[in-house]
């Protein structure tokens, strides 16, 4: 066997095994016999992230690198930082128009186009990262999300998760819902709608613009992801009070979006490679954030950051506003209602199981390991 043929077979084996483990045992079959039959394809991937955020931009880069490796360099995708090709909040528009073949972004940036997009990323008091993956991969979530993106000529692949986020940086303390009145805060998605219902003046800014807005007082507060990325953006230099928990994003997924026509034109084996690469990026990004955030938080606290907990009064007000928003949105939007009912049914069963095993989790967290 020639070396190139061996590499192609090995790559196909990797792709097939990963897809089998992540897609309920459905095994993909090779569309070609040899990588010499594969076409040379060059794609561009627009992203919503600055390169400085190496973990979340790294998720996009990983998808591209894995596809390049699995294809022996014949399917080459280049990732671009926010603003290089299109603004960070216009990735879906670029993919839909076909000006880029694919993108890496957060679906909840586009709730103005369809409010149900929020479920693809994360919703207030929703699912943590493990639960979100269970819903997407095994609970019908991927299919439900793809039906939404089909209206925009795209399909979506989970390609990263930041894990449970922090509750944002504030220039002053907030102790009650009254303290939120008139506050200018950067927060997207349904979390932003809930904050708006609590009196916040909500702003939606891409990551690269948050620091200057916060430092210069254009906004009073901002949330991004967690300690590692927040420190990268310098948010600890613009505000002193770091709140938790991030009740609006307990397990946010980021997605790779692909133009539907471009996807249909790919050889089946390239489709399998892309899907496999997204699975790997989804797992790797979460693991990396979990490993980095604890160390970074320790450093931030040593540097003077004040760690604050949202009061029970604020959390209760936010929870009440969240579920009122779900009810109102379900009444007014058929897409939202269908997805919300499917998600809510899965969530109810999942939470019943989690309540069974969480006591052990709490015990483990409280125990010392010698």
Mean pLDDT of 303-310: 98
**Residue-level pLDDT at 370:** 35
The answer to whether 116 and 62 are in contact (CB under 8 A) is no
Mean pLDDT of 346-356: 89
pLDDT(308) > 80: yes
The answer to whether 53 and 14 are in contact (CB under 8 A) is no
Span(s) in the chain for CATH 3.40.190.170: 41-162+252-291
DSSP result, 150-176: HTTTEEEEEEEE--SPP--EESS---S
165 is in an annotated binding site: yes
d(CA 85, CA 73): 23
d(CA 240, CA 173): 9
Summarize pLDDT for 65-117 with one digit per residue, the tens: 999 999 999 999 999 999 999 999 999 999 999 999 999 999 999 999 999 99
CATH H-level superfamily of 41-162+252-291: Bacterial extracellular solute-binding protein, family 7 (3.40.190.170)
Cβ neighbors of 39 (< 8 A, separation 6 or more) are: 74, 267
- How far is Cα of residue 283 from the mean position of the Cα atoms in its chain? 12
**Residue-level pLDDT at 37:** 80
Q: How long, in residues, is the chain?
A: 370
Span(s) in the chain for CATH 3.40.190.10: 168-250+301-355
Mean pLDDT of 275-303: 97
* CATH number, domain 168-250+301-355: 3.40.190.10
Residue 191: closest CA among 212, 167, 208, 211: 167
**Residue-level pLDDT at 220:** 98
186 is in an annotated binding site: yes
pLDDT(34) > 90: no
pTM of the model: 0.85
> What band does 357 get if pLDDT is binned at 50, 70 and 90?
confident
Mean pLDDT of 243-264: 97
224 is in an annotated binding site: yes
């Amino acid at each position: 066997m020639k070396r190139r043929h061996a590499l192609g077979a090995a790559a196909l084996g990797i792709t097939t095994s990963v897809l089998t483990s992540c897609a309920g045992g459905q095994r993909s079959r090779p569309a070609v016999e040899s990588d010499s039959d594969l076409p040379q394809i060059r794609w561009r991937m627009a992203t919503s992230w600055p390169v400085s955020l190496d973990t979340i931009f790294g998720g996009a880069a990983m998808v591209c690198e894995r596809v390049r490796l699995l294809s022996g360099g014949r399917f080459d995708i280049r990732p671009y930082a926010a603003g290089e090709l299109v603004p960070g909040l216009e990735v879906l528009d670029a993919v839909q128009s076909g000006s880029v073949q694919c993108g890496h972004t957060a679906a909840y940036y586009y709730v103005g186009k369809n409010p149900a997009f929020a479920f693809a990323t994360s919703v207030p008091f929703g699912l943590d990262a493990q639960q979100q993956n269970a819903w997407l991969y095994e609970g019908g979530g991927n299919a439900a999300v793809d039906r939404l993106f089909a209206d925009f000529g795209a399909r979506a692949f989970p390609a990263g998760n930041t894990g449970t986020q922090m509750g944002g940086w504030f220039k002053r303390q907030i102790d009650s819902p009254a303290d939120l009145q008139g506050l200018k805060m950067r927060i997207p998605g349904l979390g932003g709608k809930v904050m708006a219902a609590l009196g916040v003046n909500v702003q939606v800014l891409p990551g690269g613009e948050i620091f200057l807005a916060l430092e210069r007082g254009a906004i009073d507060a901002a949330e991004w992801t967690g300690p590692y990325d927040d420190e990268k953006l310098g948010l600890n230099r613009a505000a002193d009070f770091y709140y938790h928990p991030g009740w609006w994003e307990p397990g946010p997924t980021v997605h790779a979006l692909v133009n539907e026509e471009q996807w249909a034109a790919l050889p089946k084996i390239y489709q399998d490679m892309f899907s496999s690469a997204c699975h790997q990026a989804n797992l790797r990004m979460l693991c990396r954030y979990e490993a980095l955030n604890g160390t970074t938080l320790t450093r931030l606290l040593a540097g003077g950051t004040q760690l604050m907990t949202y009061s029970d009064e604020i959390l209760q007000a936010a929870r009440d506003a969240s579920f009122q928003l779900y009810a109102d949105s379900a009444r007014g939007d058929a897409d939202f209602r269908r997805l919300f009912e499917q998600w809510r049914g899965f969530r109810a069963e999942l939470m019943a199981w989690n309540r069974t095993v969480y006591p052990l989790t709490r015990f483990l967290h409280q125990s010392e390991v010698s």
